Chains A and B, each alone.
Chain A
Amino acid sequence: MSGINDFAFKMATVNGTGSASANSLLMQAIFRMGIPVTGKNLFPSNIQGLPTFYEIRASKDGYTARPEDVDLIVALNQATYAKDVATVRPGGYLVYDSSWPMEPDLVREGINIMGIPFGRMCVENFETDRDRTLLRNIVYVGALAAFLEIDMDIISQMLVEKFSKKKRLFDANNTAIKLGYDYAKANFQCPLPFHLQTMDATKDFIIIDGNTAAALGALFAGATVGAWYPITPSTSLMDAFTGFCQKYRTDAETGLAKYCIIQAEDELSAAGCVIGAGWAGARAFTNTSGPGISLMQEFIGLAYYTEIPAVFFDIQRTGPATGMPTRTQQGDLFSLAYASHGDTKHLVLFPCNPEECFYMSPIAFDLAERFQTPVFVASDLDIGMNDWMCRRLAWDDSYRPDRGKVLNAEQLEGVKKFSRYLDVDGDGIAARTLPGVHPNGAYFVRGSGHDKHGAYTEDSDLYQEVVDRIKRKFETARGAVPAPEFHRQAGADVGIVSLGGCHAAVMEAIDRLRELGIVADYMRVRAFPFNDSVKAFIDSHSSVFVVEQNRDAQLRALIAIETGVPRDHMISVLDYGGMPLTATTVVNAVSHHKAQVHA
C-alpha cells in the first residue's frame, strides 16, 4: 500500500461525539471520486464516552478487506493516544489536536507528526458546546481533504444534499471544512505522498451495509411479518425493514400498513411470532444475534419437527455469552447447523457481503417455504453494520415467490382425509394447508410425536417414518441451496476453503500468495448442508486451508462431520479476536505453513 489510491487511514475518536457522520462523509466522498473504498467502524458497546475507531481504505485494485496497517491516523482521543501513535506504519503520519501541548513521551520517532488546533479553532469559530464538539469532526474532514486531495466540489455537493433544508447547519459545516482545509494547506506540504486521484471504478457500485441490504431483500421477497427483540448487531436490520415498509408498503389511499412488525418481549417470543405467522401463511422473519439464537432453540426445533417455514437472520457477534457485542465473529455455525435438542439439521446460508445479503433474502424465504423448515442467514457484524462497496443491486421482476407445496381451497375440496406429513413424490416434502382456507385442510400441529397423518403417536415405527422423511428432505435440500463459489487458478497446489465475511480478505490473500509463489484454488462455501462439490474440492487438493473466524474451527468440523473428509486433511486458519479479517492473516498462515512443510 501507500501509493496513489492505495492507502488506509484511521480516525481515533470518542463515541457519541458525532464522528460517525464525518467518517461516512469521507468514505462517500472517496467513493464518488470513483475510487474503490472500504470503511470499517470499530466501535465500542457503549453510547457515549468510550474510544471508537473508523478505518478507511482506498484501493485502486478494488480490495475491500480491512487494511493491515494505516498510513495516517487522526488521533483525537486522549485516552487512546499512546496506543494510536504506535499503530501508524513507520514513515506514516499522525494528526493530533495541537490546541494543547503534546506530552513529550508521546512523540514517536520515524513517523510524521502534524498538529492541528482543532479544539481551539472550534472554540474561536463556533458558539455552542454542541457545535464545538460536533464540528471538530468536520474540521478534520477538511484537513484530510487537503492532505489526501479529496475533491472539494464533491464534499460541498454532499453538504448541500445533507443540509439543504438546514441553512445554519450547512453554513457551520462549510466553515468547519474550510477551517481544516485552509489550516492544512497553510502549514503542511499538501498533498501527502499517498493521496487520491479521480478514477472511474465505482459507477456500477453502491455503498450499503448488510443489514440494510438484507432488509431490502426481505421487502422484495414479500415478507409481511417481522418479529424481533433489539440486539446488537442485528437491530439495524429491522430498523431498515421498518423504514422500507413505511415507504413502499403503505397503502396510498388509506395510509394503512401492508406489513406487521412486532417488537416482542424477548427472542423466544420473536421466534414464536415468526413461526405462528409462517404457519398462518405469511413470509415471516426475525433478526437476531448469538444470544437470541440461544434463546430461540426450543422454537427452532418445533418449527423443524412440525415443518413450518421461518427465516432467521443471525448477525453474528463475538461470543460466548454476552461476549463482545460490537465485535464480529463466525462463532454460531454449530449452534445454527444443529440448533435445538434432538436430531435436528438446518439450512444455513452464508452471505459474504451486503450484496449477497440482498440476494440471499429471497432465497432464504423460498427455501423456507419449499422445504417447510427454518432457514438461517448467517451474516455477521462486519457485513451487517459496516458500509461496503458493492455492485448496484438489481431485481428480476419475473421473480415469483416459491410458496412450496400448499394446497388451496379448490385442491382441498376433493380431499377426503388430509394427511399433513405424507410424502407422495419422494422428495421428502409433504403438502401443507393454511388455516382458514378449507375445512378439509384442518390438521393439528403438534411438537409431540406424530405419524405421517399428523396424529399423536408413541409408536417407534410411525415416529421413525416421519423423522426419516424429514432427513430425506434435508438431503433434497443439499442440491437446492446455493452452491459453493469456486475461484480456480492454473497450477494451483493448495486449496483454500472459507465462508461469509472472510471472502474479501481471502480474495486479496490469493493474489498476494501468488506473488509469493503459492498458487491457490479457493472455494467459498455458501450454504449448509454442503453440496457434493465441497467434498470433491477438498479431496482434489493435497493441502487444504480452512479460513474462518472462530476459535474451534467450526466450519472445518462441520465439513468433517457432514462429508467424511478427515479433519486433519484440513489446516485451520483461525481469526477470532473480533475484528474483520485481514488478507495478511491468511497470507501469513498459508505461507508459514508451506515454508514449514518444505523445511
Chain B
Amino acid sequence: MTSIAKPPVRHPGLHKNASGFTVRDYEGAMSTLCAGCGHDSVTAALVQSFWELDLPPHRAAKMSGIGCSSKTTAYFMKQSHGFNSVHGRMPSVTSGANAANRDLTYIGISGDGDSLSIGLGQLSHAIRRNVRMLYVIDNNGVYGLTKGQFSASADIGSTSKKGEANVQPPIDPVLLALTLGCTFVARSFSGDKAQLVPIIKAGLSHNGLALIDVISPCVTFNDHEGSTKSYKFTREHEVEIAHADFVPLRREITAPATDEAVSVVTMHDGSTVRFRKTAEDYDPTNREQAYAHVRACQMRHEVATGLLFVSEEGKDMHAVARTVKTPLVDLPFAELCPGNDALQKLMEKYR
C-alpha cells in the first residue's frame, strides 16, 4: 500500500476487527506511485475505513479505469477481486457488475482525467442510474502518467510545473454531482485522514452512488508554487463546511458530548452520520444550499470540504428496476428458463 515494503512478520499487537481481520489484511500490493503521492494516503484511509467497518474483503469489488488513481486498487484489499478496466469506463463496468451481483460492496477509484474528461459521460450516467457504490475521485488537476498535462479539474490560472497557466475553466465534480442529483456528495483532502475516514465509511453505507472528490496532490507534477492542487494551497484554503462523524448501527454511540450543535442523518442500514456544524446554518440535506455554499467557497478561492450533501431518500438502480433481492448470479437456471411447455404455448401467438 505504501512505497516502502513492510516487514513480512506482523506486529503481534495488531487488533482484529469483528470479522477477524487486522488492518494489515486490508492492505494490497506495494504502491508503485511516487513517494509522497496523495493517492497513497487515500489508499491508507480506505484501508482504515474497511477495517473499522469489519468489511469481509472478499465481499468487496475494487473497480477502476486507467491512470495513477486507477492503479491504486491494486494497493489495498488483496483478498478482493479487482477490475482495472479501460480509461474512463469504470462506471459502466461497475453498473454491469452491480446489476449481476447486488450484494457486493463496490469501490470505484478514479481520477480527474478518468472521470472528468474521457469518462465524464460515464460518471454522469452512473450518478443518474444511482449505482450503489463508493466512487472516489483522486483529484490532482494533472495527468500524471503522461507527465503533467492539465486535467479538466485544473483551475484557471493554476500553473504547470513549467510555469504555463491553465486557461480553461475547471469541471468541479462536486458541483456536477449536486446538479445531477447525486445523493451523497463529499469533498476531502488526502492530507486529512481524520476527515476522510468517516466520509468513506458513511459512503460505504449509502444507499446509492456516494461520490467523494478527494484533493490528492501530485508530488511530481503539481505540487509547486502556483498550483491550486498542491498540499500547501489545499491546506491553506481548505474550509470544512460540515464535519461528519460516522456511527455504525451496531456500535454504541460513544461520541463525546459536545456543545456544538449536532444533526443526525440515518443511513439506510441504520447507521448514522452525525454532523458537527462548522459552517453556520449549513444543512447537509439541502441540495440547493450545498450547491450555493460550495459555489461561494469557490468564488473566494476556498476549497469546501466535508460531507456536503446526503440524502437517503433516493432509489438505487435495483430499487428503480425492481429487481429481486437475491443477486441475479445466484438465481438457479430453473428459475430463469421458462421451458418447452411455455415455449409451445407461446408459439401459438406466432401462428
Residues of A within 8 A of B (CB): 31-32, 206-208, 216, 219-222, 224-225, 227, 248-249, 251, 254-262, 264-266, 268-282, 284, 298-299, 302, 392-397, 399-401, 433-439, 441-448, 456
A397's partner among B95, B101, B340 (CB-CB below 8 A) is B340
Chain B window 333-347, contacts with chain A (Cβ cutoff 8 Å), 1 for yes, 0 for no: 101111110111011
- Answer whether A445 and B58 are a contact pair too, CB < 8 Å, given A272-B95, A273-B95, A436-B101: no
- For residue A220, which residues in chain B have a CB less than 8 angstroms away from its CB? 337-338, 343
Instruction: Decide if A281 touches B329 in the complex (CB within 8 Å).
Output: yes
- For residue B89, which residues in chain A have a CB less than 8 angstroms away from its CB? 268-269, 272, 298-299
- Answer whether A395 and B339 are a contact pair too, CB < 8 Å, given A262-B95, A280-B97, A444-B84: yes
- Answer whether A225 and B333 are a contact pair too, CB < 8 Å, given A248-B338, A273-B92, A276-B93: no
Instruction: Decide if A299 touches B86 in the complex (CB within 8 Å).
Output: yes
Listed from nearest, the 8 A-B pairs whose CB atoms lie closest are: A272-B92, A276-B96, A273-B96, A282-B100, A435-B81, A276-B93, A206-B350, A277-B96
Q: Is B4 an interface residue (CB 8 A)?
A: no
Chain B window 77-95, contacts with chain A (Cβ cutoff 8 Å), 1 for yes, 0 for no: 0111111111001011111
Instruction: Decide if B100 touches A400 in the complex (CB within 8 Å).
Output: no
Q: How far is the CB of B87 from chain A (nearest CB, A)?
A: 8
Cα–Cα, bound, A401→B58 (Å): 26
- For residue A400, which residues in chain B have a CB less than 8 angstroms away from its CB? 333
Instruction: Decide if A248 touches B122 in the complex (CB within 8 Å).
Output: no
Q: How far is the CB of B130 from chain A (nearest CB, A)?
A: 12
Q: How far is the CB of A319 from chain B (nearest CB, A)?
A: 24
- For residue A208, which residues in chain B have a CB less than 8 angstroms away from its CB? 350
Q: Is B10 an interface residue (CB 8 A)?
A: no
Cα–Cα, bound, A542→B344 (Å): 46
Instruction: Decide if B81 touches A269 in the complex (CB within 8 Å).
Output: no
- Answer whether A257 and B101 are a contact pair too, CB < 8 Å, given A206-B350, A265-B125, A299-B89: no
- For residue B82, which residues in chain A have a CB less than 8 angstroms away from its CB? 442-445
- For residue A258, which residues in chain B have a CB less than 8 angstroms away from its CB? 323-324, 328, 331, 335-336
Q: Is B61 an interface residue (CB 8 A)?
A: yes
- Answer whether A272 and B96 are a contact pair too, CB < 8 Å, given A222-B333, A224-B331: yes
- For residue A219, which residues in chain B have a CB less than 8 angstroms away from its CB? 336-338
Instruction: Decide if B350 touches A277 in the complex (CB within 8 Å).
Output: no
- Answer whether A275 and B81 are a contact pair too, CB < 8 Å, given A219-B338, A265-B122: no
- Answer whether A260 and B92 are a contact pair too, CB < 8 Å, given A225-B100, A436-B61: no
Which chain B residue has the least Cβ–Cβ distance from A208? B350
Instruction: Decide if B324 touches A251 in the complex (CB within 8 Å).
Output: yes
Cα–Cα, bound, A32→B329 (Å): 42
Instruction: Please tell me the size bucket of the interface on B.
Output: 35 or more
- For residue A441, which residues in chain B have a CB less than 8 angstroms away from its CB? 58, 81
Cα–Cα, bound, A435→B121 (Å): 26
Q: Is B321 an interface residue (CB 8 A)?
A: yes
Q: Is B322 an interface residue (CB 8 A)?
A: yes
Residues of B within 8 A of A (CB): 56-59, 61, 73-74, 78-86, 89, 91-101, 103-104, 121-122, 124-125, 129, 317-318, 321-325, 328-329, 331, 333, 335-340, 342-344, 346-347, 350-351
Which chain A residue has the least Cβ–Cβ distance from B325? A256
- For residue B129, which residues in chain A have a CB less than 8 angstroms away from its CB? 262
Instruction: Decide if A254 touches B324 in the complex (CB within 8 Å).
Output: yes
Instruction: Decide if B80 touches A442 in the complex (CB within 8 Å).
Output: yes
A206's partner among B57, B329, B338, B351 (CB-CB below 8 A) is B351
Cα–Cα, bound, A181→B350 (Å): 26
Instruction: Decide if B104 touches A260 in the complex (CB within 8 Å).
Output: no
- Answer whether A302 and B86 are a contact pair too, CB < 8 Å, given A256-B322, A395-B339: yes
Q: How far is the CB of A397 from chain B (nearest CB, A)?
A: 5
Q: How far is the CB of B61 from chain A (nearest CB, A)?
A: 5
- Answer whether A282 and B58 are a contact pair too, CB < 8 Å, given A272-B85, A395-B339, A443-B81: no
A266's partner among B56, B73, B121, B331 (CB-CB below 8 A) is B121
Cα–Cα, bound, A438→B80 (Å): 9
Q: How far is the CB of B328 from chain A (nearest CB, A)?
A: 4
Cα–Cα, bound, A31→B351 (Å): 8
Which chain B residue has the least Cβ–Cβ distance from A28? B351
Of A280, A298, A447, most B-chain CB atoms within 10 Å: A280
Cα–Cα, bound, A266→B339 (Å): 33
- For residue B333, which residues in chain A have a CB less than 8 angstroms away from its CB? 222, 400-401
Instruction: Decide if B83 touches A279 in the complex (CB within 8 Å).
Output: yes
- For residue A443, which residues in chain B have a CB less than 8 angstroms away from its CB? 81-82
Instruction: Decide if A260 touches B81 in the complex (CB within 8 Å).
Output: no
- For residue B57, which residues in chain A have a CB less than 8 angstroms away from its CB? 439, 442
A395's partner among B79, B321, B329, B340 (CB-CB below 8 A) is B340
Q: How far is the CB of A216 from chain B (nearest CB, A)?
A: 8
- For residue B97, which residues in chain A have a CB less than 8 angstroms away from its CB? 276-277, 279-280, 435
- For residue B344, which residues in chain A have a CB less than 8 angstroms away from its CB? 394
- For residue B84, which residues in chain A have a CB less than 8 angstroms away from its CB? 444-448
A435's partner among B101, B318, B331, B343 (CB-CB below 8 A) is B101
Q: How far is the CB of A204 from chain B (nearest CB, A)?
A: 10
Cα–Cα, bound, A435→B80 (Å): 7
- For residue B346, which residues in chain A have a CB less than 8 angstroms away from its CB? 216
Instruction: Decide if B343 touches A394 in the complex (CB within 8 Å).
Output: yes
Cα–Cα, bound, A220→B81 (Å): 29
Of A32, A255, A262, A274, most B-chain CB atoms within 10 Å: A262
B322's partner among A255, A264, A280, A393 (CB-CB below 8 A) is A255
- For residue A276, which residues in chain B have a CB less than 8 angstroms away from its CB? 83, 85, 92-100
Instruction: Decide if A257 touches B323 in the complex (CB within 8 Å).
Output: yes
Instruction: Decide if A262 touches B96 in the complex (CB within 8 Å).
Output: yes
- For residue B99, which residues in chain A have a CB less than 8 angstroms away from its CB? 225, 227, 260, 262, 273, 276-277, 282, 284
Instruction: Decide if A275 touches B93 in the complex (CB within 8 Å).
Output: yes
- Answer whether A436 and B104 are a contact pair too, CB < 8 Å, given A206-B350, A394-B340: yes
